[in-house]
Chains A and B, each alone.
Chain A
């Protein structure tokens, strides 16, 4: 059950394809109906990274919360590995934007990472082993005894990511995960996300307002815009799986994709 041994090929066989069809969300309060987004279609193949990008307030977080099962969608369906899902599922691990508020301050980081496993019924020794491996996978080996408030923002977010990995999630849902850290740390965490995909074969759906980040990480960029929001463009990003902050960002393909996304958002 060692997570670092799971090769990408094995994950594909497990078929954790996330398919979203005609997803819409409307808030109804009394007689007022407030439509947030409509007709969203996604196809996230196992081991791929999809970025969801759009202007502030368009509904990206609402969409992610619907995918995570935290919010019921008004229309449409979500399926994971061919099974319809209507709530949180063990295949999906969520990484929230505000790491300091989702990590529990009375537990040190290893306990935080192991906690969802306790809910799954995993025994203590096994839980701790998996938690230690997850922490090592995000570069926090040996930091398990530290409390969240003893760690920097970047480290805390790594703990949150480790928690999603330890949960044995095949799909990571990330809500602007790197927005609250400084630029340098953001680059490190972006590369961590790519690294996790490469080593563990997880798929990632990443909501972000940072267009550079969206293009750098993704195989597919989903552009959300309008009021009510809808998918105005789906940009395939063909930069391979081996990416680098320096070289990738100076490739013409990168600039092209970036300009295209920016143009769509600004329309």
Chain B
């Protein structure tokens, strides 16, 4: 059982204990049973519709048809460029690319595609009849922004988040606006830092074995300096970052909105922790580093 699950179970115990007077039997049972039947239809109506795929909708923004070949759509071989394309920092495993491709295909609403690892390649096989334009941006580098959270807007985005809402549309870097993460909706400030992430790695923390993300930022004003400036504002909860949270926005979608717990960071000593499972940490790392996937897209 994961730590998160353990913590959830701990919520069974209230802050203040319950009193333990045994209740008296209810006077009228039949009436309540009839009510109960009526309430079931109410319950059925409350079932919220699909959230699947809402998390990563933004891949669909923009097309680059010139990147597409002229051959028949069917098999899309994706070839690793090799580790030299990665620069410093940890490499992206092909198995994680498989996961990421599957996420992107899901986000694009393409059913029936298969993603296979045929080392050293990742092969994406598309179902019949998929419009090539739809997958043209499958491997587009992601944009990543750091935006202070001005306000966490109440709870749910709603049962379905069509692409007409904030998700899928890109907020201008200097604009304030509302962004979803598929579950929550955030009002965010203009981007404090765009790009600047050299690499991201999911790994168990050496301190306690919990899964965390370590983030390596670029040096200088387009990296760690800009990050530190906004981090300090968040840490002190200045008006520009009143919630102390910094939203990490990948391709127009909030992938995480962590609290900032320090006012100064070294560029190679930034850790995002949050009761992550291994899978959740790796998925988030893959999203945050999708800007430099060591892959290319060719149509067969």
| A, B co-complexed | no
